[in-house]
């Protein structure tokens, strides 16, 4: 089920919201959290309940029991077994087809394993839980709250990647089960902002990226201008699509009195690649830092080992995004870019902010090409065209440049949603730090929702780009 579908907006969400707060108002808080847990599983398995609901349910039960066992035994073997089984399940569903394709020349049979939605997200959240149980950093083991933390429908499909320590205590607060009008109003506006980003901005610019990338996949080589138009269009489409989902998730959770961490902080304003990764998909960056980079040794074993750990982290982060060599190339590029960034910083030399911002943005745009392309060959052709080696080619679209200019202004000059809806622009605010929007922002939110609804009613809802990562 998609957030940008009429059945979610006008059927699923209103029913879930009403029943939750009715149960909370009459003091049935355990029943209210159980209700939210149950409908989250229904949301997840809406399109294929026979397959998806048993999968995530078994994963939740397994990891909860493993977490309890790890907490009582502090056994590395139990921790390793839990993580191995989680990663094995993820590897089977996500990488079996990829491995079979690459071993086809050796006689490996073709596979057709369907990728369950959200499996990367609920696997990562639960691995973090197991590790924290081993580190004695998990303090609550309410099974309903744990199941709800993993399956909570606003974040389940595409994040943000949540942490049990910031979520389970919120489900235990009595205040969560009492309607908070400030949180409701702010959540509605936050959701409207995300919905507008997705169905109006991201979907509006999408054709100017997809047409060129699709043609390149079929051997049609674009010229310089068309290649740049496609790369810029995708750069903006991906940002508004994914940050739009995150904003919708944050807004939906907030209407229930639950605060999610921000996932984006104006990443295209970054003046270094290090800064970019502190602003882009921030909850993934946090997970990779805390549970992969630090586990590999972090910066504790000298600069060479630190650089190796950083590169491996980004390489695996690229592969996490998808089972294709294009994602490996994308992760490799960002790994090498971060190594260069850290090495440059160690020299003490400084580059003017405008120049460093330009260089970072150009690097990010080039790196998005293999992230979007379906083959390395088409990515290489697009890069060749962007560097001017394939000539001018066909004419570009004036409408496409208009879309690019408009979305670039919003991404680079407008305040982001955390700056608008929290008192200090906090990225992980307390419920008390949520700022009720001004009359102007509320009115703008109403206009955004109206425009989004018109777009939804005028066509079929489109899936999010991160829907099956």
User: What is the tens place of the pLDDT at every residue in 400-443?
Assistant: 999 999 999 999 999 999 888 876 555 555 666 666 777 888 88
What confidence score (pLDDT) does residue 387 get? 95
Residues with catalytic annotation? 321
Q: What pLDDT, on a 0 to 100 scale, did the predictor assign at position 429?
A: 54
The model's pLDDT over 123-135, given as tens digits with 9 standing for 90+, comes to: 999 999 999 999 9
Residue 134 is predicted with a pLDDT of: 94
Considering only residues 449 and 436, tell me which one the structure prediction assigns the higher pLDDT. 449
CA nearest neighbour of 311 among 325, 328, 323: 328
For the segment 54-76, the average pLDDT, to the nearest whole number, is 94
**Percent of the chain residues past pLDDT 90, beyond the cut:** 70
Asked if the bond preceding 160 is cis, omega within 30° of 0, the reply is yes
**Out of 24-38, 99-113, 194-208, 350-364, least confident range:** 99-113
pLDDT of residue 192: 95
Which pLDDT value is given to residue 100? 86
The answer to whether 25 and 178 have CB atoms below 8 angstroms apart is yes
Find out whether 370 and 380 touch, Cβ atoms under 8 Å. no
Phi, psi of 440 (to 5 degrees): -65, -45
Identify the pLDDT of residue 117. 85
Chain segment 292-326, per-residue pLDDT in tens: 999 899 888 888 899 999 999 999 999 888 889 99
pLDDT at 277: 96
CA 75, distance to chain mean position in Å, is: 32
- Predicted pLDDT at 352: 95
Return all residues near 132 (Cβ < 8 A) that are at least 6 apart: 138, 164, 165
Q: pLDDT class for 69, splitting at 50, 70, 90? A: very high
- What does the pLDDT average to over 234-240? 97
Cα–Cα distances in angstroms (integers) from residue 263 to residues 130, 245, 249, 283, in the given order: 23, 10, 10, 6
Q: Specify whether the CB–CB gap between 435 and 422 falls below 8 A.
A: yes
Q: What pLDDT is stored for residue 434 in this prediction? A: 67
C-alpha dist (Å) from residue 303 to 99, 319, 329: 34, 24, 24
- Residue written as tokens 């829907």? 467
421 close to 438: Cβ distance less than 8 angstroms? no
Residue 340 has phi, psi (to 5 degrees) of: -65, -40
User: Does residue 340 have a pLDDT over 90?
Assistant: yes
- 202-226 tens-digit pLDDT: 999 999 999 999 999 888 889 999 9
Flag whether pLDDT at 136 surpasses 80.
Answer: yes
Where does the pLDDT of residue 49 fall: very low under 50, low under 70, confident under 90, or very high at 90 and above? Answer: confident
Q: What is the pLDDT of residue 309?
A: 94
Q: What is the pLDDT of residues 95-119, one digit of tens each?
A: 998 888 888 777 778 788 888 888 8
């Amino acid at each position: 089920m998609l957030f940008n579908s009429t059945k979610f907006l006008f059927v699923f969400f209103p029913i879930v919201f009403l029943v939750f707060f009715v149960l909370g108002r009459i003091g049935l808080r355990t029943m209210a959290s159980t209700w939210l847990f149950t409908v989250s599983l229904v949301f997840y398995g809406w399109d294929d309940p026979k397959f998806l609901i048993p999968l995530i349910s078994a994963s939740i039960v397994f990891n909860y029991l493993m977490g309890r066992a790890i907490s009582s035994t502090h056994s590395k073997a139990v921790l390793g077994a839990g993580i191995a089984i989680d990663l094995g399940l993820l590897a089977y569903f996500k990488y079996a087809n990829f491995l079979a394709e690459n071993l086809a020349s050796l006689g490996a049979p073709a596979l057709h394993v369907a990728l369950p939605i959200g499996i990367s997200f609920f696997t990562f959240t639960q691995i973090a839980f197991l590790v924290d149980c081993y580190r004695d950093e998990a303090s609550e083991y309410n099974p309903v709250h744990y199941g709800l933390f993993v399956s909570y429908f606003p974040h389940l499909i595409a994040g943000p990647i949540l942490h049990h320590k910031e979520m389970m205590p919120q489900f235990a607060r009595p205040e969560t089960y009492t309607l908070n009008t400030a949180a409701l109003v702010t959540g509605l506006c936050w959701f409207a902002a995300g919905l507008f980003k997705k169905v109006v901005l991201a979907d509006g610019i999408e054709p100017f990226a997809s047409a060129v990338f699709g043609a390149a996949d079929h051997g049609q080589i674009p010229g310089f201008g068309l290649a740049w138009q496609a790369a810029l269009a995708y750069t903006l489409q991906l940002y508004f699509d994914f940050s739009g989902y995150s904003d919708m998730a944050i807004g939906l959770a907030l209407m229930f009195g639950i605060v999610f961490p921000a996932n984006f902080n104006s990443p295209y304003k970054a003046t270094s690649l290090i800064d970019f990764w502190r602003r882009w998909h921030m909850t993934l960056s946090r997970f990779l830092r805390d549970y992969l980079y630090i586990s590999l040794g972090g910066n504790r074993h000298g600069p060479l080992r630190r650089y190796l750990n950083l590169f491996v982290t980004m390489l695996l982060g690229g592969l996490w995004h998808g089972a294709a060599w294009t994602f490996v190339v994308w992760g490799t590029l960002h790994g090498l870019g971060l190594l260069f960034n850290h090495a440059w910083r160690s020299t003490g030399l400084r580059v003017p902010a405008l120049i460093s911002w330009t260089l970072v943005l150009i690097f990010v745009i080039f790196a998005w090409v293999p992230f979007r392309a379906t083959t390395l060959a088409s990515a290489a052709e697009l890069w060749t065209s962007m560097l001017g080696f394939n000539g001018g080619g066909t004419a570009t679209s004036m409408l496409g440049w208009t879309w690019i200019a408009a979305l670039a202004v919003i991404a680079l000059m407008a305040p982001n949603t955390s700056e608008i809806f929290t008192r200090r622009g906090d990225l992980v605010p307390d419920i008390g730090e949520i700022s009720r929007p001004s009359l102007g922002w509320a009115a703008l939110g109403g206009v955004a929702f109206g425009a989004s609804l018109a777009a939804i009613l005028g066509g079929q809802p489109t899936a999010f780009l991160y829907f099956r990562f």
